[in-house]
Amino acid sequence: MRKGTKRKATRKEDHKPAQPKPKEVPSRTKRIKVPKPESEPEYFEDQRNLEDLWKAAFPVGTEWDQLDSVYQFNWNFSNLEDAFEEGGKLYGEKVYLFGCTEPQLVPYKGENKVTVIPAVVAVVSPFPPSDKIGINSVQREAEEIVPMKQMKMDWVPYIPLEKRDSQVDKLKSQIFILSCTQRRAALKHLKIDRVKKYEYCLPYFYQPFKEDEIEQSTEVPIIFPIDPKPVFCEFDWELDELEEFTDKLIEEEELPENQKDAFKAFVKEKVREAKKANREAREARKKAIEEMSKETKEAFEKMKFYKFYPVQTSDTPDISNVKASFINRYYGKAHEVL
């Protein structure tokens, strides 16, 4: 090859237009899937078989506007549930339950607070303790004893959670609750007196082998209707002398002087009515015992009342000092408080 040829070729190559460099395609990096941290499994506590039993028993006599406050705390009635387990007070028994409430000043989170405390009364009996309701209050002139159904109440079988898929008529229920079908939403359509009756209701019970408190009482509640203010008092026909009793009311300016004779006549009439009611009650009790079968007599003698309060928990008020055995004027005291 001649000299210079290589140089010439080299110069030609120098004059060639520069070829554009191919664009670098960025390499696609694979996204690495980061596994999600495994969340802690959620555990839901199984519902207990009788967990809602205390709520199912209607709290008789509770004011309608107080009902919501009964459930503001997560009350625990596991003691009631345990009583139906083997070895418990109510195991294998036929039981009738009704609720009640007791407003009490109790400590909660460092301060005393008026709390509507629920309680459940259990009546061990082979038959319903009563099909009647008593309606009474300080404001009402006379006590009423009416059929439960008149106040839309009745004993109905309680179905435990594990059996709620079964047909009710095939279940042999041993637990009955006092139920009320009066809807709160419909109260606005009722007369005030009718609404108030529910607040004065007490489950009625008649024990023929125990002399009724009414039979023993010699006191008569008096509501003498005069303007501008009625006279409220109690007259005891064994301890009080009517003339002296009336003069004292006049002296205390509870009764106008010109109403003295009318008041005395009114009291005498109320005393006659009360004595007649006492006499009729004694006769009815005597007749009931005479007509009663041997089995029924035994059932009344064996009948027991248990009163259940909520058990103490960290998120409910301390009610340990306010538990009471008294149920109401008809039932008297519970055989045992739990």
Residues 191 and 117 in one domain: yes
Residues 302 and 267 in one domain: no
286 sits in the region (left: phi over 0; alpha: psi -120 to 50; else beta) called alpha
Q: How far apart are CA 134 and CA 150, in angstroms?
A: 11
- Residue 136 lies inside a defined structural domain of this protein: yes
Residues 244 and 113 in one domain: no
Q: What would the pLDDT profile of 228-246 be if each residue is shown by its tens digit?
A: 888 888 999 989 999 999 9
- Residue 137 lies inside a defined structural domain of this protein: yes
pLDDT at 47 over 80: no
Q: What would the pLDDT profile of 287-307 be if each residue is shown by its tens digit?
A: 878 888 888 888 888 889 999
Averaged over 247-254, what is the pLDDT?
90
Q: In what order do the strands lie in the sheet with 144-147?
A: 144-147, 132-135, 201-203
**How many CB atoms lie under 10 A from the CB of residue 99?**
23
Residues 198 and 261 in one domain: no
Residues 199 and 56 in one domain: yes
Residues 158 and 89 in one domain: yes
Residues 197 and 156 in one domain: yes
Residues 77 and 183 in one domain: yes
Percentage of residues of the chain with pLDDT beyond 70: 77
- Residue 255 lies inside a defined structural domain of this protein: yes
Residues 248 and 120 in one domain: no
- Strand stretches in 286-337, DSSP E: 304-308, 326-328, 332-333, 336-337
Q: What is residue 190's predicted lDDT score, i.e. its pLDDT? A: 67
Given pLDDT bands bounded at 50, 70 and 90, which one contains residue 195? Answer: confident
pLDDT at 169 over 90: no
Given pLDDT bands bounded at 50, 70 and 90, which one contains residue 9? Answer: very low
- Strand stretches in 69-160, DSSP E: 95-108, 111-124, 132-135, 144-147, 153-157
Closest by Cα among 204, 142, 215 to 332: 204
Residues 91 and 60 in one domain: yes
- Residue 202 lies inside a defined structural domain of this protein: yes
- Residue 309 lies inside a defined structural domain of this protein: yes
Residues 146 and 192 in one domain: yes
Q: Give the chain's domain count.
A: 2
Given pLDDT bands bounded at 50, 70 and 90, which one contains residue 121? Answer: very high
Residues 72 and 128 in one domain: yes
Round the average pLDDT of the chain to a whole number and report it.
79
Q: Could you tell me which residue, 330 or 157, shows the higher pLDDT?
A: 157
Structure tokens at 244: 């002296």
Q: What is residue 113's predicted lDDT score, i.e. its pLDDT? A: 87
What pTM, to 2 d.p., does this model score? 0.65
- Residue 157 lies inside a defined structural domain of this protein: yes
Q: How far apart are CA 41 and CA 46, in angstroms?
A: 15
Q: What would the pLDDT profile of 129-154 be if each residue is shown by its tens digit?
A: 888 888 876 555 567 888 888 888 89
- Structural domain span for residue 315: 52-208+296-337
- Residue 153 lies inside a defined structural domain of this protein: yes
Averaged over 95-103, what is the pLDDT?
91
Specify the pairing of strand 304-308 against strand 336-337: parallel
- Residue 6 lies inside a defined structural domain of this protein: no
Given pLDDT bands bounded at 50, 70 and 90, which one contains residue 45? Answer: low
Q: What is residue 1's predicted lDDT score, i.e. its pLDDT? A: 46
pLDDT at 76 over 60: yes
